[in-house]
Amino acid sequence: MYGSGYIPGLDYTKLNNSIAQEDPQKLAEFEAKIENGDKIEPHDWMPQQYRKQLIRLIEQHAHSEIMGALPEGTWITRAPTLKRKLALIAKVQDEIGHAQLLYAAAETLGKPREAMINDLLSGKSKYSNVFNYPAETWADITVIGFLIDAAAIVNQLLNSKGSYGPYSRALKRICAEESFHLKQGYEGFVYLATGSPKQRKMLQDAVNRWWPPIMHFFGPPNKTSVHSEKLMKWKVKMASNDEMRNRFLDQYVPKVWELGITLPDPNLRKNEETGRWEYTEPDWEEFFRVIKGDGPCNKERIAVRQWAVEKGRWVRQALFNPSAKYSLPVA
């Protein structure tokens, strides 16, 4: 119903339920290929764990793109100027396009799109923690456009060098568009930071609200990350969670501070000897609560997706089975 995820010979349900013993020789050849920097393509042999991990990660990423459009989408009608409105419309449209690219990349691994959407709606499949918080003011949109897009770029630039061809190519294109988002986010951030006392306060309040979820964005500390070891061995994930967090702090904290905006962590500083940033660990219990479905906006976000699935069903039916009878939704 959502397009073709069918791969001859691959039974997705079976894959999901059993992880088979791998042929040691094929596994060794596969790992040598990755070690050599070659890309793995959809019809190449791959271990089932690699396939399963990629589906989990890419699908989660795709869901994050469509969920990420929701807090920003609520501000399209309230953008302060026509220029900001046009930029926001274009950005939201881009994010949905990113989801399309990523769902298509995940489909090459054999999971049908309909199954991915069902897993999102049932809560089986996760999406980024940050999109479960409300955008209370226009400054929240500015913080999302600057700091969350910056965080996403740190992650995606690294992973675009990863081993799975379709994901790596999708990320290259996504990063090019995200760079524009980041520029417009930063321009809006500077505008508010150098504006009236009211604008500066609105921005500072938004930064204070978003800082903990942004620190959560890169995932739990290395010592509690479940998937990193395997993902990094197979070059799906190109840096650890703490390494990505450190790169983000290194690039973007100075840009915030130079505008006289503070960050709500008295321990945040760069240790010049180690080159590493020191900070107060954000509340990880809150993070796990939010990603398990109990954040401020989870229910609202899922309800919007459910609504979209129901209202769009007739369009998908018409596209994929034009000769069948279908009924238009009642408004």
The residues that touch ligand COA, with contacts defined as CB under 6 A, are: 56-57, 60-61, 64, 126, 128-129, 152, 155, 159, 216-220, 225-228, 231, 237, 241, 291
The CB-of-320 to ligand COA minimum distance in angstroms stands at 28
The CB-of-317 to ligand COA minimum distance in angstroms stands at 30
The CB-of-319 to ligand COA minimum distance in angstroms stands at 27
Q: Cα–Cα distances in Å, from 118 out to 7, 121, 192, 289, 311?
A: 19, 5, 40, 21, 15
Q: How many CA atoms lie within 13 A of 112 on its CB side?
A: 13
What is the DSSP code string of 27-84? HHHHHHHHHTTPPB-TTS---HHHHHHHHHHHHHHHHHHHHHHHHHHTTTTT-SSHHH
Q: Give whichever of 126 and 313 is closer to ligand COA, judged by the CB atom.
A: 126
Q: Give whichever of 219 and 282 is closer to ligand COA, judged by the CB atom.
A: 219
Burial class (CB within 10 angstroms; exposed 0-12, middle 13-18, buried 19+) of 123: exposed
Contacts of 41 (CB under 8 A, 6+ apart): 165, 166
Q: Give whichever of 195 and 296 is closer to ligand COA, judged by the CB atom.
A: 296
Q: Give whichever of 95 and 188 is closer to ligand COA, judged by the CB atom.
A: 95
The CB-of-142 to ligand COA minimum distance in angstroms stands at 18
Q: Give whichever of 226 and 330 is closer to ligand COA, judged by the CB atom.
A: 226
Q: Give whichever of 128 and 184 is closer to ligand COA, judged by the CB atom.
A: 128
CB 259 within 8 A of CB 189: yes
The CB-of-233 to ligand COA minimum distance in angstroms stands at 12
How many CB atoms are closer than 10 A to CB 37?
9
The CB-of-237 to ligand COA minimum distance in angstroms stands at 6
Q: Which of 173, 198, 41 is CA-nearest to residue 98? A: 173
Both tokens of 148, joined, read 């969350």
Say how far apart CA 186 and CA 184 lie, in whole Å.
5
Q: Give whichever of 216 and 247 is closer to ligand COA, judged by the CB atom.
A: 216
CB 58 within 8 A of CB 125: no
Burial class (CB within 10 angstroms; exposed 0-12, middle 13-18, buried 19+) of 228: buried
